[in-house]
Structure 1
């Protein structure tokens, strides 16, 4: 056989997500042997951060009253504004911080966001007027965003073979923090008062920042001048035109939209359930939210390993369809036991969507672009936080309370249809980075 004969080119191989990649790009990233320890540190730091941010939510209306706003409608208005305002700033600045993390490293971005959160939460506890509180909440939205920062750091630290499991494990800390943060904050406020509770929340965020700063190591190489490309705006424009990123961002938008859209309507739905007394409505609504959060935390940890392979996209579509059906069934429920079952199923679906979509993004994105990509994806998530309660109020006012759940179900069905189109597409490996080299 002629040794000088040109070798027959190999056909593109498929990666674990079922996406196509050139054979010359199939190499495992060099990672530290201590990645499991780093993952645990990041997980615990993210848990502390979510506990710190969400510990203040249950007593925010009462804190507003302490600042001098006593009329009930004014308290409701200020509470809505204070909850929504940071989400808009997070949506605007998340891609910016993600782009900077691709230039200067993901680890500094993580501890910077947590440190910024610690400072703003501490200062919020020293506010003397509601306008000061609003200003600090806006600053908090502009300089924080721990979730995309931690996702990008994990994606750049953990070996590819373990990445789906790691992202699911990380998402578990988010759900756990958002579920138990209000409980911890409520207990602290009743025991020590509002302002000391803000101090404790700030201490949790500061601890998370210090853990990442001193106990996590990132192997990061700064991009050269040629790799930085034409700048942030041009890179973001290319990213936003990418089909894969758009669809994964649509998934997290729908998930966050549904979660926050139900916050104002779920307690009202509980009032319509037979057998629930007026004196136990708040307790029942809280129990339903806790059931959703716990099931989501467990699901996020389990879905990572299950999605490690070509099943990732298939499982994601299944979770989206499950969420659509479950939310539509909310419109017909009249029994508390059935409602609890639906909330658990909704949590399972939500807990699966986040790690599966993040895993797909990691597998079709070059390592040097993951900060920007997860920043864009998280911006969609924060837009869902902002739009959910607003749209729910309009739909509920116009068509009735139960129509909100039907609208959420229809949104998820549209997302599922879009994902099914992606399933059979030929998507090159790291196609996102090929258009947006930083």
Structure 2
């Protein structure tokens, strides 16, 4: 295997472990708040779950550009290790929380030191031949997204088997393992002397420079809109599954499975769609997948059983596989070499903003419009984003069939 292939394989596994570890709490978070932390009332649980789920992304939004800047100066691998080992410690501490506000503060601390996946994406993009960039972006991103979606399945299984608190300790162990593998096996070609000799500019100046590249503001905005639509119903899916399935001992498992089935299809689709984008253009794949994901959200609102919901979520995962990887590939193609990590840092802030506002909005709207209404809002948002992405990127000079 060539060096870029070894890096890709190890970082795929690392992104999977990190994302799975971060989302293992999803299927039991609302149940944990109710049974262990004393929150009562469906609406109160939904609001707390939304804020706790989103709090990680509040601080991440502000700190990702800083880590991106330091990555361009000191190397991407260093950022991998800083983030991975730091998050493993914070995750273990979450297992000792005794009140919702404590869990909230620890999730915020986790957001401050997060950044493993953006650093991994940047490292892969820097070491991959340009003709294989779409495939590599799809592959490494499939690890992160598959972990994000399969994590709830693992969390649901473990919640039924060992209870809630031990999952935080297991998650910390997974993050430590991912960081150790990255430390031992990932190699980076990084010219420290050239980086040190480069002009020192502020993050504000770097942002202004990047925003003058017409494709990048549109891509950052698309990242936000994707995450907003995808994350709005995420924390409420366990309550929706509970309504369809009824109260039973295996409720946590079914909540996790509903999330996991999306990851199963995504894990297969993302590399294939990435490879296809190398042939027909990332732009075309992005617009088609945005439209398809939006359409398949709508019938989830009227699902009458868990198997029916599972089928819709499986198809959704196929379309998700073409979203973030194609955005990352387009960002890499339109960003100067010396600012790649910084660009991914700002894009991660856009992603974090969507991750932050989406669950909060979903929790706030759960009362007035119901969980079903949130599925419809997400679907309409993605369909509108597909139209906006087509027009805005065309105006920015991205060709339909090109990168």
Q: TM-score range by the shorter chain?
A: 0.7 to 0.9
Alignment correspondent of 1:151: 121
Instruction: Please report how far the alpha carbon of residue 255 of structure 1 lies from its aligned counterpart in structure 2 after TM superposition.
Output: 2.4
Alignment correspondent of 1:70: 38
Within 2, Cα distance between the matches of 1:379 and 1:334?
A: 37
Instruction: Please report how far the alpha carbon of residue 399 of structure 1 lies from its aligned counterpart in structure 2 after TM superposition.
Output: 4.4
Q: Which runs of 5+ in 2 are unaligned?
A: none
Pick from 351, 357, 381: which aligns with 2:321?
351
Q: Is the 8 A contact 1:86 1:140 kept in 2?
A: yes
Alignment correspondent of 1:170: 140
Secondary structure of 2:191's aligned partner:
coil
Kindly report structure 1 stretches of 4+ aligned residues shifted beyond 6 Å: none
Paired residues for 1:17-28 under 5 Å? none
Higher gyration radius (CA):
1
Pick from 242, 258, 262: which aligns with 1:292?
262
More helix by proportion, 1 or 2? Answer: 2
Alignment correspondent of 2:19: 50
Instruction: Please report how far the alpha carbon of residue 416 of structure 1 lies from its aligned counterpart in structure 2 after TM superposition.
Output: 1.9
In structure 2, relative to structure 1, the CA distance for the partners of 1:348 and 1:224 (3 Å cut) is: closer
Paired residues for 1:142-221 under 5 Å? 142-192=112-162, 194-221=164-191
Within 1, Cα distance between the matches of 2:174 and 2:255?
A: 27
Q: Which moves more between the two structures, 135-144 or 89-98?
A: 135-144
CA-to-aligned-CA distance 1:203-235 (integer Å, 9 cap, x gap): 221121122122111111234566335322211
Pick from 223, 229, 234: which aligns with 2:205?
234
Within 1, Cα distance between the matches of 2:179 and 2:73?
A: 20
Q: Is the 8 A contact 1:98 1:373 kept in 2?
A: yes
Alignment correspondent of 2:216: 245
Aligned residues: 394
Question: Is the aligned partner of 1:82 residue 2:75?
Answer: no
Within 2, Cα distance between the matches of 1:128 and 1:281?
A: 23
Instruction: Please report how far the alpha carbon of residue 108 of structure 1 lies from its aligned counterpart in structure 2 after TM superposition.
Output: 0.6
Alignment correspondent of 2:79: 109
Within 1, Cα distance between the matches of 2:310 and 2:165?
A: 35
Instruction: Please report how far the alpha carbon of residue 418 of structure 1 lies from its aligned counterpart in structure 2 after TM superposition.
Output: 2.5
Instruction: Please report how far the alpha carbon of residue 331 of structure 1 lies from its aligned counterpart in structure 2 after TM superposition.
Output: 4.5
Question: Is the aligned partner of 1:316 residue 2:286?
Answer: yes
Alignment correspondent of 1:261: 232
Within 2, Cα distance between the matches of 1:177 and 1:289?
A: 11
Question: Is the aligned partner of 1:35 residue 2:7?
Answer: no
Instruction: Please report how far the alpha carbon of residue 71 of structure 1 lies from its aligned counterpart in structure 2 after TM superposition.
Output: 4.2
